[in-house]
């Protein structure tokens, strides 16, 4: 996964080599849909990620330009993780994963698939929050979006 020498020239294989493990995708999910930006927030994952796996995957995602890591101006001892343009470009892929997975879950009431319009709005919000001036959520009083991502 962290190998910088692709095993083939296939674009799908390249995606899988960079983010094709379950934990990396769950980390990106939590940053994208739950507004998580700090290590401790990402550690509080419903699927119980371990701290060493989280640290390894974050390092890999930063190394591959999917995330950036910076000092958090509001918490001097904390680092804040942000999506890059490359990371933001994963939104349609996550949306497809969500749509396919929702069809596998029962009961159907759990299906919470976003419409194209909702995705465009979310992409715009993520762009402002991650590439804009504020490293935090646009409105910290707003409820987290995790529920809507399920």
Least distance from a second copy to the Cβ atom of residue 118, Å: 14
Residue 119 CA from chain centroid, whole number: 14
- Report 102-131 residues binding a second copy (CB under 8 A): 102-105, 110-113
From the list 21, 41, 72, 125, which residue makes contact with a second copy (rule: CB under 8 A)? 21
C-alpha span between 141 and 129 (Å, rounded): 14
Q: Which residues, including other chains, have CB under 8 Å from residue 126's CB and lie 6 or more apart?
A: 32, 83, 88, 91
Instruction: Return the number of the residue (48 or 52) whose C-beta is nearest a second copy.
Output: 48
Binding flags for a second copy, 39-68, as an x/- string (CB under 8 A): -------xxx---------------x----
Binding flags for a second copy, 23-42, as an x/- string (CB under 8 A): --xx--x-------------
CA dihedral for 39, 67, 2, 22, sign (positive or negative): positive
From the list 5, 8, 76, 115, which residue makes contact with a second copy (rule: CB under 8 A)? 8
Q: Which residues, including other chains, have CB under 8 Å from residue 38's CB and lie 6 or more apart?
A: 72, 75, 78, 79, 80, 81
Instruction: Please say whether the beta carbons of 61 and 19 come within 8 A.
Output: yes
Residues that bind a second copy (CB under 8 A): 1, 6-18, 20-22, 25-26, 29, 46-48, 64, 86, 89-90, 92-94, 96-105, 110-113, 149-150
């Amino acid at each position: 996964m962290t190998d910088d020498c692709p095993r083939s020239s296939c674009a799908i294989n390249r995606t899988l080599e960079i983010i094709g493990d379950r934990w990396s995708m769950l980390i990106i999910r939590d940053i994208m849909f739950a507004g998580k930006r700090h290590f401790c927030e990402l550690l509080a994952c419903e699927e119980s990620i371990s701290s060493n796996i989280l640290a390894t995957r974050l390092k890999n995602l930063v190394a591959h330009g999917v995330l950036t890591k910076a000092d958090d101006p509001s918490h001097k001892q904390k680092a804040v993780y942000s999506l890059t343009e490359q990371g933001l470009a994963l939104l349609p892929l996550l949306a497809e994963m969500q749509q396919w997975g929702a069809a596998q879950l029962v009961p159907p009431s759990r299906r919470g698939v976003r419409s194209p319009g909702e995705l465009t709005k979310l992409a715009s919000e993520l762009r402002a929050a991650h590439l804009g001036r504020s490293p935090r959520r646009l409105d910290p009083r707003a409820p987290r979006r995790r529920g809507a991502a399920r």
